Structure 1
């Protein structure tokens, strides 16, 4: 091949490469556009577990898009309050929120199921129902009525049963008590004589300290001690029967979601799943130490009596029947959720329960 022919051929290749580069740059720019969203958390920054999960999510989205998709996380109250956040996402004031759906159950009781309802699913089964049991699709069919779509982005696991100023031994001890409780648990505990109080997390301590309420539940040892509840109430009860596997969701404005490139939608889903996993891991890691510290500070741990648990279980069953009779959407989602519970405990009583029970007995014997 002579020199002139070689130059012609290599020049053509070079021109083709240059053209490909020119075409590739705009294509990449279109598939990874610069986007900035605001995410309002339902929680204060002091809670590095729940609030922190939103930061985990936002960081993962930013990293996966080389910084092109930036989600700014704001604590509850910085833009809107916890209880106003759904409306803000629905009307486009903010693009998304990281929050518990059960705060909005007053709009429709179906919102309660998204977070988890009393005597419902534990954390493992909740994830099973949401990811593989059709739960997320059912919920998003409902959430579309509020111009939102949601993905699981955190789970606390089974929570504690709350702080009280006095011992709670019988059903009579509950009558007339003003108790801060989130979600549908308030409607159910009301049936046994409690006066439920809906108070955001950041307002619980002063209400408990001033005696405006007689007791309060929040999450568990780590978060509760960070908020100082052990300083104003001596009795700490378990289990939190109303929150056996609490899911926090990323709620996104539906129009903003549909505007995202498919690749960004996939990243949001994956980053939400990461936050879901990390939050549970953090609680499992932080709660044991915090529980020991709370007990050492003088807090008295108490189990709810069987009488109280059974009365509340019956009240929950009665409540779900009432809601299902008057709300077809609630019934549809509830039937799926409770159907998963029935099958899930059939398996877990053979597997998780027996394994965990044996291990706990070894722990009590000082062998672990």
Structure 2
């Protein structure tokens, strides 16, 4: 009978003569699943080009399957799903995905903190936010890959909004922190799955949205079911990110990590001009929404309330206070720099 010792000896001799094939895992393609906050029409701009680029370059070494909003888990569960490994990577803001970190309130639209989309990369790469975000997510087992800016945040409504009083009682789909801030002006924040928003506007369940700029209103179909675009911005840009499960990230060779970062940065670059140009073009040439505005004298009340809101958030933790201090320093610098950084509000 063949003993275990004899079998192992024979196998070893055979291996010397004929090398064994590499283990199947070494030959297989690395596969990730990534979910974006965006529905299909929007994801075609904010997520798909970057993932398509990555897959084309990575080839059979690695492929990322992209899922749109709520396809695997609801947006509010994205963080937990990524942390547990159900999803390997996520594109979202901190606020929408219910991040448990101290920086969650600043993702999405932090009220009136930003004027232009270019403010976001400058804050992250010259004023220290990137380091804070990476430290916060390292604490919870998630790799913060890259931050970038999206569009500004404006109201799109079924009825005209020409004063703060017109906001009172309006049921608005918006981000958690933005909703918390806007509720003091009578706004009723409503949370619904992203794909349900258009129908909710048609049925009257919603009176409007404060989730994007005019580019997205046209892209995703909300311009077809709202009538007015309010030009006063709640924030000049959305802060969004690419994230990855830390274990999955650590398993990648360095060149694939670098490739993923480069594709994320390309995505941020594309959005810079897509949104910046789109916002202006559609205000001037769009034929689906009329423009309405709250007078500057009234909107000044919102701006003043935002400063108090910042202090309220800063009082909640040392990390939040650090971020708010950076926002204040940055905005003061921009005002002192004057045009083209800031117009009409130099101190």
TM range (shorter): 0.7 to 0.9
Does the 8 A contact of 1:102 with 1:183 survive in 2?
Answer: yes
Aligned twin of 2:134:
140
Q: Show CA shifts across 1:201-256 (max 9, x none).
A: 32221111111122212322332123333333322101322x31213211111121
Does the 8 A contact of 2:146 with 2:264 survive in 1?
Answer: yes
Does the 8 A contact of 2:151 with 2:212 survive in 1?
Answer: no
Structure 1 residues 38 and 310: alpha-carbon distance in aligned structure 2, compared to 1, 3 A threshold: same
1:173-188, aligned counterparts within 5 Å?
173-188=166-181
- Residue 146 of structure 1: SS of its match in structure 2? coil
> CA offset at residue 89 of structure 1?
0.5
Q: 136, 150, 155: which one pairs with 1:156?
A: 150
State yes or no: 1:319 paired with 2:306: no
> CA offset at residue 260 of structure 1?
1.7
1:50-89, aligned counterparts within 5 Å?
50-89=43-82
Structure 2: gaps (5+ residues): 1-18
Q: Which moved more, 1:214-223 or 1:130-139?
A: 214-223
- Residue 218 of structure 1: SS of its match in structure 2? strand
Q: Which structure: greater helix fraction?
A: 1
State yes or no: 1:215 paired with 2:208: yes
Q: 238, 253, 276: which one pairs with 2:245?
A: 253
> CA offset at residue 105 of structure 1?
5.5
> CA offset at residue 97 of structure 1?
0.8
Does the 8 A contact of 2:50 with 2:267 survive in 1?
Answer: yes
Count of residue pairs brought into register by the alignment: 320
TM-score by length of 2: 0.82
Does the 8 A contact of 2:173 with 2:208 survive in 1?
Answer: yes
Structure 1: gaps (5+ residues): 1-21, 355-368
- Residue 315 of structure 2: SS of its match in structure 1? helix
Aligned twin of 1:282:
274
1:323-342, aligned counterparts within 5 Å?
323-342=313-332
Q: Show CA shifts across 1:53-73 (max 9, x none).
A: 322222332344344121111
TM-score by length of 1: 0.78
Aligned twin of 1:366:
none
State yes or no: 1:42 paired with 2:37: yes
Aligned twin of 1:265:
257
Does the 8 A contact of 1:168 with 1:304 survive in 2?
Answer: yes
State yes or no: 1:350 paired with 2:339: yes
- The CA RMSD over aligned residues, in Å, is 2.7
Structure 1 residues 313 and 284: alpha-carbon distance in aligned structure 2, compared to 1, 3 A threshold: closer
Does the 8 A contact of 2:88 with 2:244 survive in 1?
Answer: yes
- Residue 118 of structure 2: SS of its match in structure 1? helix
Does the 8 A contact of 1:136 with 1:151 survive in 2?
Answer: no
State yes or no: 1:237 paired with 2:226: no
Aligned twin of 2:10:
none
Structure 1 residues 323 and 285: alpha-carbon distance in aligned structure 2, compared to 1, 3 A threshold: closer
Structure 1 residues 346 and 201: alpha-carbon distance in aligned structure 2, compared to 1, 3 A threshold: farther
Does the 8 A contact of 2:214 with 2:282 survive in 1?
Answer: yes
